[in-house]
Structure 1
Amino acid sequence: MRPRTRSDQAIAPHGWVQALLAVLSALIAMGAAAALGLWAAGATDLPDGAFPRVVAATVVTAVGGTIELSGNAGGLADTQADLTVIPLSVTLTGALVIAAGFLRPLRHRAVAGAGELAGWAARIAVLWLLALLALALGARQTFQLSLGDGTLSDLGDTFGVSPEVGFETDLPPTLFFGLLWLAGVLVLALLVSRGAPLPARLLRFQETVRPAAYAMVVLLLAYVALGIVIAVVVAFTRGQAAATLAVILLGMPNLVWLTLTIGLGATWNGRVEGPFGLPMPHVLDEVLRGSDTATLNLRTLAEYDGRVWWLVAVDAVLLPAAAFVMAARSPARMRAWQHALHMAVALALTVLMICLVGRISAHYGLSVLGIGDLGGDLNGELLLEPEVWSAVGLAALWGLVTGFLGALLARPVRRTGETKTAGTADAGRDSVRP
């Protein structure tokens, strides 16, 4: 029997063991990020040994799962609670790890059949759904709220009010959106990786789609890396290392991708009431805190801190850089207006994704005898939503300008499909004549 060559290994079947390793690696990475972030945020102090269940719930929400909050305060009282937020640091960690596990057996390949790719993805999907089901079943817990001292405590003793709040996973939407998240990650991995094989029928799309997808991923990761550097510097100079670590491990993309859209000119609307707080610079919390919905954009932020205009400067540097990367990875025959169009579409879709996953909604309250929320630490609201279509339109406009500029900057770079000049070609032919 002849020894297996590298080519033989490259086309080896993608078995269940490899799929299991990919899924377990992603879940372990996501769980570690969630656990460390929640530990830094002080979640280990939760009663009744709830910390592991909160970690599981965090991982579930990171992949689009739905966590339902419930309350019970006896016959004379009522509790209300809802929460919609995606910890994008955990999401990004899982996406990077599972994408690497998906692409690893496909390396050194030029073309792969649609059936082969579908079979390999299906193995991962089956194991992913089973793991997600186990996490979802474990993500449930009930807490008893303390009424504290004074009037509220007396009121609770008088009426027998002992408020409880709990959470559990809504299984059907969690499994559906978790599978949808996985499909999106695997498709994006195929689009971004230059070395990943595609079915023969899709090869004609790789010259236009892959450079743009790669550039957007580089752009998003660059913002995350820049945010981490700034956060570490702030932690060393101003303290609060634990809070900074919590932001990095749970919500860094939530923060930096928000600033990306604001730098483009986008507007977000929000409100912060009660003990809730945003894992963001103090200026954002100042703008949003109050009883009325506030507008969050360059103008309103500049009224509190003029340094917010640096967000425009950062966009003006990183977007042309991403456009340059896109143009440098594109065929040489592609014209500048085509690069501009591709950049506009790619950036518009990227901002749309940020708007969909970056919104936050949270509320909880306790009422007795039907008399509204009691306020204080027993009532809070947090809201952050984008003006989606204006943000997408501004992104398309920025994409057109920076895409054209990136194409001009990439002209000196030798690219795929570039041909030699006629003189050089003739000289080469003369050199081989007898």
Structure 2
Amino acid sequence: MDSRTLSDLAVPRHGWAQALVTVLGGLIAMGLVAALGLGAAGATGLPDGSFPRVLAATVVTAVGGSVDLSGDASGLAGAEGGLTVMPLSVTLTGALFIGWSFLRPLRHRAVAGAPELAGWAARIAALWLVALVCLAFTARHTFEISLGKGALDDLGDLFGFSPEIGFAADVPVTVLVGLLWLAGVLVLALLVSPGAPLPGRLLRFQTTVRPAAHAMLHLLLASVVIGGVIALAVAATRGRPAETFAVLLLGLPNLAWLALTIGLGATWDGRVEGSFGLPVPHVLDEVLRNEDVSALNLSTLAEHDGRVWWLPVADAVLLLAVAFVMAALSPARVRAWQHAVHLAVALALTVLMICLVGRISARLGLSVLGIGDLDTGLSGQVLLQPRLPTALGPALLWGLVAGFAGALPARRMRRRTG
């Protein structure tokens, strides 16, 4: 018989090769989703073979990186702007793959030492750092833009200039935030997986943290699935399938999780101006396209479409379902009021995460001879920011009520099954 003991055989092998598969697999998955989304949005027709660089910039923003916009034309024309937005379909795809790949070598384990987990995470982080640097330096390009027809075009001919606009990833910010993003993904993977091993000192937190974290993962994924079904139904009945698939492949969680928080009672401040952005539901466009910043909540949306009152109903059903799942995964000794507290804290943290990753700030303005924000078809602005008190307060209340209500049928089920 082999001299190795059974315990040795049970130790997973998670070295550099497995770390490379994790990083490359995550990047390929994110790149594929981003490429399909950009293709559906028409980005494959960009000039100068710039599509790969736009693709790299999309992946950079998906992990929280920063992309700056700028332009120049010999001092006579210029463009300025910035972009802060996470295409959460790409983000979610990468997070799910990397989290799964991180946990896979650790399966069939009850306990894992802190040095082992830290070493495995460090190998992934080292390769991820190299990938971030390569992406950040790739995500830059300059385009020559048209001033349009009429007076602006005549000015360009008169002074002999052709404005250029470019984008470039901020390398230090991208590397720093990208590493923090990876750390968050790995930590959350350990938290949401009921069977993932933990260091012995952390096992006591399994009964309080893991069921709630697992329930929140179900809540987020369920809202995305429901949003996807609705989007496909709209595409099938109202046309414009390419634009709908662009939204699905780039920003479905952006819209689904925004709707989730609004259904809970949150208010967001937003504005859409000019030609920026992918198509959004008509009711959102109506509310946000105003001269001033608009409040986005159930009340303002209902003025344009009364069907938004179904959002709280959908949220209630989802929360009761995940509260039941949380209680079923928890030990029988956990009381109903404790389930309520656990779900309230978990839901508030989840809503806070949505508020942080769902913010949008994008602006691009073109000026010629000091005349700012000229209408060339490229200028515009998108703003979407949450009001945190209106988001976190209702989330705590919803979590308390749903956590208590969902725990009661779980306790009755336990009694019936002995």
Specify the TM-score bucket, using the shorter chain as the normaliser: over 0.9
Q: Spell out, residue by residue over 1:254-273, the C-alpha distance to the aligned partner (whole angstroms, 9 max, x if none).
A: 00000000001111111111
CA 1:153–1:220: 2 relative to 1, 3 Å:
same
| Whole-angstrom CA distance in 2 between matches of 1:286 and 1:231 | 18
Q: Spell out, residue by residue over 1:125-159, the C-alpha distance to the aligned partner (whole angstroms, 9 max, x if none).
A: 11111112111111110011111111211122223
2:51 maps to 51
Q: Spell out, residue by residue over 1:10-45, the C-alpha distance to the aligned partner (whole angstroms, 9 max, x if none).
A: 313311111111111111100000000000000001
Conserved 8 A contact 1:324-1:409:
yes
CA 1:71–1:376: 2 relative to 1, 3 Å:
closer
State the SS of the aligned residue for 2:82: strand
| Whole-angstrom CA distance in 2 between matches of 1:148 and 1:156 | 10
Instruction: Give 2:293's aligned amino acid.
Output: T
Q: Spell out, residue by residue over 1:185-209, the C-alpha distance to the aligned partner (whole angstroms, 9 max, x if none).
A: 1111111111110000000001100
Question: How many angstroms does 1:8 deviate by?
Answer: 4.4
Structure 2 residue 213 is the aligned partner of structure 1 residue 243: no
| Whole-angstrom CA distance in 2 between matches of 1:8 and 1:34 | 41
Conserved 8 A contact 1:278-1:285:
no
State the SS of the aligned residue for 2:209: helix
Conserved 8 A contact 1:277-1:285:
no
Conserved 8 A contact 2:62-2:86:
yes
Structure 2 residue 194 is the aligned partner of structure 1 residue 194: yes
| Whole-angstrom CA distance in 2 between matches of 1:9 and 1:62 | 38
1:257 maps to 257
1:346 maps to 346
Of the two, which has the highest radius of gyration?
1
2:231 maps to 231
Conserved 8 A contact 1:10-1:107:
no
| Whole-angstrom CA distance in 2 between matches of 1:253 and 1:3 | 51
| Whole-angstrom CA distance in 2 between matches of 1:365 and 1:241 | 30
Is there any run of 5+ residues in structure 2 with no aligned partner, and where? none
State the SS of the aligned residue for 2:198: coil
1:38 maps to 38
| Whole-angstrom CA distance in 2 between matches of 1:98 and 1:6 | 29
Is there any run of 5+ residues in structure 1 with no aligned partner, and where? 421-434
The CA RMSD measured in Å over matched residues stands at 1.7
Question: How many angstroms does 1:406 deviate by?
Answer: 0.8
Instruction: Give 1:137's aligned amino acid.
Output: F
**TM-score under structure 1 normalisation?**
0.93
| Whole-angstrom CA distance in 1 between matches of 2:262 and 2:12 | 47
1:410 maps to 410
Q: Which residues in structure 2 correspond to 1:254-403 (within 5 Å)?
A: 254-403=254-403
Question: How many angstroms does 1:70 deviate by?
Answer: 1.6
Structure 1 stretch 86-95 or stretch 365-374: which is displaced more? 365-374
Instruction: Give 2:51's aligned amino acid.
Output: F
2:206 maps to 206
1:431 maps to none
Conserved 8 A contact 2:147-2:376:
no
Instruction: Give 1:241's aligned amino acid.
Output: P
1:166 maps to 166
How many residue pairs get matched? Answer: 418
CA 1:153–1:227: 2 relative to 1, 3 Å:
same
Structure 2 residue 104 is the aligned partner of structure 1 residue 104: yes
Conserved 8 A contact 1:64-1:86:
yes
Instruction: Give 2:372's aligned amino acid.
Output: G
**TM-score under structure 2 normalisation?**
0.96
